[in-house]
Structure 1
Amino acid sequence: MTTPFRWGLIGPGRIAHRFAQGLQHQGCGVLQAVASRNVQRASEFAEQYQAPRYYDNYAELLADDEIDGIYIATPHNFHFDTAKACLEAGKPVLCEKPLTVSAAQTETLIELAQRNNTFLMEALWTRMLPVYQQVRKWLNAELIGDVRLVQSNFGFCIDRDPNDRLLNPDLAGGVLLDMGVYNLSMSDWVFGRGPENAQATGLVGNTGVDELMAVNLDFGDQQYGQFVCNFVSKTENHLTIYGSKGHIKVEQMFWDTTQASVVVGEQQVDHFDQPFAASGFEYQTMEAERCIRQGLLESPQIPHQTTLRTMKVMDQLRQQLGLID
């Protein structure tokens, strides 16, 4: 019998609950330990999800020989240093999106992972969802003909707390890094490559972060992408792929959905609706576990170069709005 994969978790915040709930799926490993600089938070999280131990610092977790991989769920601005420490300790890493806050940081982590022969993966869980596996089958079957355009929205009105990480530039706040990364990455997923050109307009709020961004993407070969991400308005958060014969609509919330349909001409010809096995995070977790057990350094589903090219585009878009030099 195969020994369950043992996860260490750094940053027991909101999103970490989805990860821990995903581990309840029988195809996943177990939560072995939790680390947080807030010992009460670490203790409570460990108790809630039956983790045998918890730590009030990351060094002890990294020194734990009974940890097979580490999931990082800290705010964006801490991803680089935390992932770097894990890789230097030889611990495989599954790190929440965005992997870092700049392409330069991403390149450094990729080089470190390769040099230390240690697995590294951005936890962009949407790419692993069953609904997108079905969408890929529809695309491969050319049901909608030649794909020409991908459009998506990701928008909500958020609480106007300037100290919240979403609006705080010191915590790598801003809508593109937090939400727009899904729009951009899934457009890349559809075409299987990054855009040749990307142009952004948008709103930079009084705290100095992007609160709305409207983006046009040119993928070449007469293929395009458009998306809007924002903190100021609730939008219809679909993703639609338009082709020469019809379209595929991934229902809202497109990054966290179980439903999609394909329309040819004016007629719906297929529909997909499959509940998650657990929280939805289990699919990326199982992929990471599979890769680590096989000794891979990256997942073929989210390879290093895909993460890097998405980060390079986000650098460009943020630069166009004057957010970075």
Structure 2
Amino acid sequence: MKTYNWATLGCGVIANELAQALAKEGRTLYSVANRTHSKAEVFAEKYGIKKVYDQIDDVFSDPNVDIIYISTPHNTHIEFLRKALTAGKHVLCEKSVTLNADELAEAKLLAKENNVVLAEAMTLYHMPIYKKLRDIIETKRLGKLQMIQLNFGSYKDYDMNNRFFSPKLAGGALLDIGVYALSFARWFMSEKPDKLASQVRLAPSGVDEQAGILLQNKAGEMATIALTLHAKQPKRGMLAFEEGYIEIYEYPRGNEATITYTEDGSKEVLQAGQTENALAYEVKDMERAVSGAENVMYLNYTTDVMEMMSALRKEWGLLYPEER
């Protein structure tokens, strides 16, 4: 398979992980773009990247760039997606891929018109344990899926100016951590939920700081999700089937799952993949998709999740400045 030139747009935590993932394979990012040029230069020196753009938009016109990883704040994604996709670049974009379903629909159309791959960097779609669990579930040995329970809690300083609580930076629990829980639910549900119910508590800044969400689809599969930016919770995902239940801890980058069987209470522990290689799995799947070998980026699931998040925020009356 061809070796692709990756550019990072942004040089924060995720960009560092991307550079490290490529380094494990003896590869280097081709280039780096960032609004603050000095930060891009420091990042490039750290990872031996030869090309730093004078202007952030120069990355889109560089003919040597194959794939751009966008890791800037949520509310800047659509601006960069428009430019990257129109320029014929494949894009792996940090979650949440856009602010809302309308923006995602626009980006998908641009990707189709320019014959490029657009994908959200949702780690759990690429972790080996999820592919292993899906294979087991498809054997029907656990019976029908009945219920999913998901927790995700983070304790953040209660500062309305930081990105987690700032409307100007598309803050709030749903787009930051809820996207993982909804993506987990969608991965295992046989079809998209068509019934949503929720309770939300808004921060003084107006973004969602805590929420409870209920989902149900036409197959009768249900999910309950608890999100908070005020307290640590175990990142626990639980799938309840007729013949047993599955538990996964630290599920955004999980590598281990435990099956408890209903009949006798016996347990089976499954392991696959490594948490520290999460970005490497994403990179490999993205390159497979770009090469045309397989469609393994699950943009259809990303679309379902974004539509659910948009519907929830509409119910809550939560709009970001760009949406007003």
C-alpha separation in 2, matches of 1:52 and 1:95 = 22
2:28 aligns with: 30
**Equivalent residue runs for 1:1-325 within 5 Å:** 4-26=3-25, 30-251=28-249, 253-265=250-262, 266-276=264-274, 278-294=276-292, 299-303=295-299, 305-324=300-319
Q: Which amino acid aligns with 2:14?
A: I
| CA-CA distance at 1:276 after TM superposition | 2.0
Task: Report the more deviating stretch, 273-282 or 184-193.
Answer: 273-282
Q: List per-residue Cα deviations over 1:188-238 (Å, max 9, x = no partner).
A: 110142101111101101011000110000112221011111101111220
- Provide structure 1 residue ranges, at least 5 long, that are not aligned to the other structure: none
| CA-CA distance at 1:3 after TM superposition | 5.1
Cα 1:244–1:177 shift into 2, 3 Å:
same
State the secondary structure of the residue aligned to 1:220. Answer: coil
| CA-CA distance at 1:84 after TM superposition | 0.9
Q: List per-residue Cα deviations over 1:134-179 (Å, max 9, x = no partner).
A: 2112211223211101111110111222221111001111100010
Task: Report the more deviating stretch, 205-214 or 137-146.
Answer: 137-146
Contact kept, 8 Å, 2:7 with 2:33, in 1: the verdict is yes
| CA-CA distance at 1:9 after TM superposition | 0.3
Name which structure has the greater RCO, CA cutoff 8 Å, separation 6+: 1
| CA-CA distance at 1:274 after TM superposition | 3.9
State the secondary structure of the residue aligned to 2:160. Answer: coil
**Equivalent pairs: percent with the same residue?**
29
Cα 1:145–1:86 shift into 2, 3 Å:
same
Contact kept, 8 Å, 1:7 with 1:29, in 2: the verdict is no
**TM-score scaled to structure 2, two decimals?**
0.93
Contact kept, 8 Å, 1:135 with 1:248, in 2: the verdict is no
Contact kept, 8 Å, 1:153 with 1:183, in 2: the verdict is yes
Contact kept, 8 Å, 1:76 with 1:100, in 2: the verdict is yes
